[in-house]
Chains A and B, each alone.
Chain A
Amino acid sequence: MLIVRDVDVSYQGAVAALRGVSLSVPAGGIVALVGNNGAGKSSLLRAVSRNLRRHRGEITGGAVTFDGEPLRDPGDCVRRGLIQVPEGRRIFGRLTVEENLRLAAHGAGKKLVPDRVYDLFPVLAERRRQPGLLLSGGEQQMLALGRALVAGPRLLMLDEPSLGLAPQVVARIVTVLREINADGVALLLVEQNAALALSLAQHAYVLELGRVSLEGPAEKLRDDPDVRRLYLGATAVAT
């Protein structure tokens, strides 16, 4: 479904952020992208969603296709069902909860049907008229997910969905992600929390200094000694 082939990305014509990165997400699958801060995860997402120009970067080699066609701009991605949940949630604080959802539906060229989101996250229904800046971190992540759902995703790209959230909230998010996937939506999970990512995904890639250093089935990566040492810590064992 999403195919990234030999992509190079550089910023301001100088700094190489990605070098020859290849990755693919099959329809309905869950793929994890693991790596430390600065490994190039954000650059990869920007390359896929055609959002590099804003950061004075560009794709200098390789190609990205979705359903076999190149992606033109962020709007094109959204309208073709490739939806990104950005790092740090990026909720519009001065817009109400419902306006945030409405904006996302409008951006995808759809009419807003919030019922599914409100069923998944009843707290959002209660707070539908409140401005986004009054939400807690967990509620903001729910709203960010909700925004992606009302856009009618076929592939969701999640950038650090667990960052800074309490364990119960993370558990709730994971449950919802499984439900969404069960409906046939593919997931590309970009996480520093490798344990979480590898437990959800079927296939995983490890990004180091702008290159894919390792890839394979998620359970295999979970047992890889290097991955265990570097990303899963000495004691952390995947659930």
Chain B
Amino acid sequence: MITFLSLLLTGLSTGAIYALVALGIVLLFKAAEVVNFAHGSLLLLGAYVTARTWEAVGFPTAVALGVLVGALAAVIVERLLANPMRDAAPVALAIMTIGVDIVIATELNRRMGPDIVVVGHPWGGTAARLGDVAVPANRLIALLVAGALIVAFLVAFKLTDWGVAMRAAAEDRETAALLGVRLSRVTTLSWILAGALAVVAGIFLAGSPTPGLSPAVGVIALRALPAAILGGLDSTTGALVGGLVVGVAESLAAGYQDQLSFLGRGFGDVVPYVVMIAVLLVRPAGLFGTREVGRV
């Protein structure tokens, strides 16, 4: 039972991190019909900046720098590439982001080499105890921070002018434009937010129990894609639920891998994709996705 609780908690915290990334992916899809395959690279880029600067400027400033660079890179991609081809088909946009991903990932791979770069979290590798359940402090903090960010995001999405404009644009871009909504501003802000959220997620992903930042973190971040799609690419609720489902399923599969040994070692890493395909078989537009958007 204690194992189960600790696995559940780990899963929830991983899931909250995935949800941050998935939220960004969903946001970009709603705002601009872009499925951003470069999201993992943006995440890695920001976390890399934090990892390279914390010794010089201290952790909090380094986090701010990383988030800033991630958001900036997202805006550059948007202004320079996504915006000029905003009338192109979603598949063309997605292929463009694959090109961006190749470029950023290659440069980061080159800079990191085979090394693991440590992100200097002040809490390091300490474990936090909740009763008899022990989890890395990093994961507990991730859960809290991600939870707070998600709540803040949802409140903004529900209550601010930006949130209303964003939802309107996702539903009917032409009418939104005719009402005077500045679509390009809404879209740019979405890229900024998506980039920033991804970097925060990346900084936590590179912490305990993960030894540090390496290109492998980008691979882990890629699991936010199945999370986003199993929830429904156009649903913020879907991103949250999808993130948590993927995180918990992965954690349980990894924790009980001795009992699941017939599925092979490391099955936990595959679980997000198995769950995704299973869900898509039943609901091709994801759990909370709408049919119309599922047909894009």
Contacts and interface: CB of A to CB of B under 8 A. Distances in A.
A86 B176 CA distance: 11
A109 interface: yes
A151 B181 CA distance: 12
Given A51-B174, A92-B168, A78 B161 contact: no
Contacts of A151: 179-180
Contacts of A90: 172, 174-175, 178
A94 B167 contact: yes
A220 interface: no
A51 B177 contact: yes
Interface in B164-213: 164-165, 167-168, 171-172, 174-182
Contacts of B161: 102, 106
A184 interface: no
A113 B164 CA distance: 16
B185 to A, nearest CB: 10
Contacts of B168: 92, 95, 99, 103
A86 B178 contact: yes
B178 to A, nearest CB: 5
B181 A106 contact: yes
A99 B163 CA distance: 10
Interface string B92-120: 00000000000000000000000000000
B237 to A, nearest CB: 12
A107 B172 contact: no
Contacts of B182: 75
Interface string B142-176: 00000000000000000001001101100110111
A86 B171 CA distance: 15
A121 B119 CA distance: 59
Interface residues of A, number: 25
Contact of A95 (B167, B177, B178): B167
Nearest to B183: A75
A137 interface: no
B180 A86 contact: no
A77 B164 CA distance: 21
B172 to A, nearest CB: 6
Contact of A49 (B172, B178, B181): B178
A92 B171 contact: yes
Q: Which of A94, A95, A107 has the most CB of B within 10 A?
A: A107
Nearest to B181: A107
B167 A78 contact: no
A93 interface: yes
Interface string A61-98: 00000000000001101110000101000101111000
Contact of A104 (B171, B174, B177, B179): B179
Contacts of A108: 179-180
A222 interface: no
Nearest to B290: A94
A211 interface: no
A160 to B, nearest CB: 15
Given A54-B174, A90-B172, A92-B172, A99 B180 contact: no
A161 to B, nearest CB: 15
A154 interface: no
A103 B179 contact: yes
Q: Which of A74, A78, A93, A147 has the most CB of B within 10 A?
A: A74
A157 to B, nearest CB: 10
Nearest to B162: A106
Contacts of A49: 178
A99 B176 CA distance: 12
A151 B179 CA distance: 8
Contacts of A75: 177, 180-182
Given A90-B172, A92-B171, A95-B171, A84 B178 contact: yes
Contacts of A94: 167, 171
A106 B165 contact: yes
A147 B176 CA distance: 11
A225 B70 CA distance: 69
A104 B165 CA distance: 9
B177 A74 contact: yes
A39 to B, nearest CB: 21
Contact of A51 (B167, B171, B178): B178
Nearest 6 A-B pairs (CB), nearest first?
A: A107-B180, A78-B180, A107-B179, A90-B175, A106-B161, A107-B181
20 contacts: A49-B178, A51-B177, A54-B177, A74-B177, A74-B178, A74-B180, A75-B177, A75-B182, A78-B179, A86-B175, A90-B172, A90-B178, A92-B167, A92-B171, A92-B175, A99-B164, A103-B176, A104-B180, A107-B181, A108-B180
Given A92-B168, A106-B180, 14 more contacts: A51-B177, A54-B177, A75-B180, A75-B181, A78-B179, A84-B178, A92-B171, A94-B167, A95-B171, A102-B164, A103-B168, A103-B179, A106-B164, A108-B180
